[in-house]
Amino acid sequence: MSARDIEMRAAAWIARREQAELNSEDVAAFDAWLAESLAHRVAYWRLNAAWSRTKRLAALRAPEDRKSAEAGSHFRRIFGRAAAGVVVIAALSAGTAFLLMRSHTQTFATALGGQRTVKLADGSQIELNTDTVLRLAIDVHSRTVWLDRGEAFFQVRHDASRPFTVISDNRSVTDLGTSFTVRRDATALKIVVVQGRVLFDMAEPTRSPTLLMEGDTAVATTSSLSVTKRTIRQLADDTAWRRGVLVFDRVTLGDAAMEFNRYNREKLVIVDEKVAQRTIGATFPIHDVEQFVDVTQDVLGLHAVKHGDQIVISR
Amino acid sequence: MDEKASELSREGREPGEAALAVEAWFVREVLPLEAILMHFLRHNWRDQSDIEDLRQDVYIRVCEAAFKQIPETAKAFVLATARNLLIDRVRRGNVVPIDAVADLDTLGAAIEAPSADQHLIAREELERLQIALDQLPQRCREVVVMRRIEERSGREIATRMGISEATVWEYLADGVLALADILYGEQKPHRRRRP
């Protein structure tokens, strides 16, 4: 058995212990494995020491992470506003003080279909949509977010002395008192300004930064930038994912399927171009692919066939 | 205690107390030397695929010795053990060319090299852990973050990532392995079983 094989066994034991309290049978099996050879014990000591060190990471818990935010709202219901203040202060001393003192990058991520809210100590809030990775660095002079992948909604507590900037590749969006979403996919960067204004910088020497106003939707590719104005209702539709739904208003089936596929492992496939061009108007829960398929069958009279993780929709 | 430990270890089992003392010494004194040890092994052994096995053998040898008596200076002891192990390997394996052990004189330099500070203050330790976290393969990192920082259950993590609970624990195990390599060996984690 190689050192790696032994380590993998030791790591599996540590994972097993994380999963649930070991029962007496497990404990006996684990002890027997440890007693088999010093190699087993040394491998376990080493991995266990590393894993124990990571306990300290709990100090990084975002001050009002989704989990504690839920607890917080519960708290508020019971004790009112004063108690909520106490919760925030307690969270501050645990992790945020460190964030405020020095700039350090923190990574936040969601998996496919996941969503997550990160509340910052300054009152700003970031909502991560599905399959998103972003990094956050905050110090006394600046607040910077790198959107490495996916989409996020930013509700920024404006502070001119501490600009809030979202960077994607070399392009940046700087808050001027606002809330906005930034979505990054393979070909384009899309910015929706829900409230206030932002400054969008493509970082091209020939192009000066663009001021985007409330309701503006900007789509930037490597070579172009187009800005359209959205109505309040359209803005609500664009950010409906924050409420856990997808809103389609005269959207083609092809686009709707693509949108669903961002959130779910089961992928909708529409091969027939004519079918893909048909439009729908409906609201669906983000994870309810089934309901979408039902609508295409019952309302549009299309057929859906399931192949493993794919659902093929056709005439 | 040492005497008792050595007596019992001859019978093939140690009292829990001795094992705890050796584990504590190993974690406190030996593991922080891993980066230096790995550097030494890599520079003095041609076949890099042997390195992890060599590291394990060094650890086994020093712990065997520690069951008899805890060595006074861990660093010199660990590196001397590593050198003896390499020499044994060369002698034993007839096929290994003589220049497999390149330059054992680097032992002195290795002993002089500064060790990782074992008494990192809390904030430095936190930063180190964050840097380690950033180096993990993405899925492993997601699982470790959700488990350690957000303290979510396996089922919750599985649901959020759209994977089975068993896979969550596999990623966690991979994460533990990689973290040890990064934290102690200061190595980039290498890709393993799962993509």
> pLDDT per residue over B4-58, tens digit each?
433 334 334 445 678 888 888 999 899 999 999 998 898 888 888 889 999 999 9
Residue for token digits 């989990």? A67
Q: Do domains A105-234 and A244-314 have the same CATH topology?
A: no
pLDDT band at B115, cuts 50/70/90?
low
pLDDT band at A69, cuts 50/70/90?
very low
CA distance A174 to chain B (A): 25
Q: CA-CA distances (angstroms) from residue A72 to A4, A75, A109, B69?
A: 44, 5, 22, 53
pLDDT value for B177:
94
CA distance A47 to chain B (A): 6
pLDDT value for A47:
95
pLDDT value for B170:
93
A1 to chain B: closest CA residue: B53
Neighbours of B64 (CB within 10 A): 14
B64 close to B5: Cβ distance less than 8 angstroms: no
**CATH code of domain A244-314:** 3.55.50.30
**CATH code of domain B122-185:** 1.10.10.10
pLDDT value for B107:
63
> B137-155, pLDDT tens digit by residue?
888 999 998 898 888 889 9
Which carries the bigger pLDDT value, residue B90 or residue A246?
A: A246
A196, HSE (Cβ side, Cα atoms, 13 Å): 16
Domain boundaries along the sequence of chain A: 3-57, 61-100, 105-234, 244-314
Q: How far apart are CA B189 and CA B140, in angstroms?
A: 11
Domain boundaries along the sequence of chain B: 2-112, 122-185
Task: Give contacts of A61 with chain B, Cβ < 8 Å.
Answer: 149-151
Phi and psi torsions of B101, nearest 5°: -90, 100
pLDDT band at A6, cuts 50/70/90?
very high
CA distance A315 to chain B (A): 30
Provide CB contacts within 8 A for B52, sequence distance 6+: A2, A3, A4, A7
Average pLDDT of chain B, as a whole number: 78
Task: Give contacts of A111 with chain B, Cβ < 8 Å.
Answer: 142, 160-162
Q: Which of residues 125-144 of A touch B (CB under 8 A)?
A: 133
pLDDT value for B79:
92
Q: Are β-strands A267-269 and A210-212 bridged in parallel, bridged antiparallel, or unpaired?
A: unpaired
pLDDT value for A150:
92
Identify the sign of the CA torsion A27, A33, A39, A44: negative
Q: How far apart are CA A234 and CA B151, in angstroms?
A: 37
Encoded tokens for A233: 């209702």
Q: How far apart are CA A242 and CA A237, in angstroms?
A: 10
pLDDT band at A151, cuts 50/70/90?
very high
pLDDT value for A298:
81
CA distance B101 to chain A (A): 21
User: Do B144 and A54 make contact, defined as CB atoms within 8 angstroms?
Assistant: yes
Transcribe B120-155 into DSSP letters.
--HHHHHHHHHHHHHHS-HHHHHHHIIIIIS---HH
List the single best residue of A2, A4, A18, A286 to mutate versus B (max B Cβ within 10 A).
A18
pLDDT value for A228:
87
Q: Does domain A105-234 have CATH number 3.40.190.10?
A: no
> B156-174, pLDDT tens digit by residue?
999 888 899 999 999 999 9
Q: Kindly report the CA angle at A193 between A187 and A197, in degrees rounded to 5?
A: 120
Which carries the bigger pLDDT value, residue B78 or residue B120?
A: B78
Q: How far apart are CA B143 and CA B169, in angstroms?
A: 8
pLDDT value for B113:
62
B4 close to B90: Cβ distance less than 8 angstroms: no
Provide CB contacts within 8 A for B118, sequence distance 6+: B28, B29, B32
Which carries the bigger pLDDT value, residue A93 or residue A290?
A: A290
Task: Give contacts of A27 with chain B, Cβ < 8 Å.
Answer: none
Q: Which of residues 47-66 of A touch B (CB under 8 A)?
A: 47, 49-51, 53-61, 65
pLDDT higher than threshold 50 for residue A86 = no
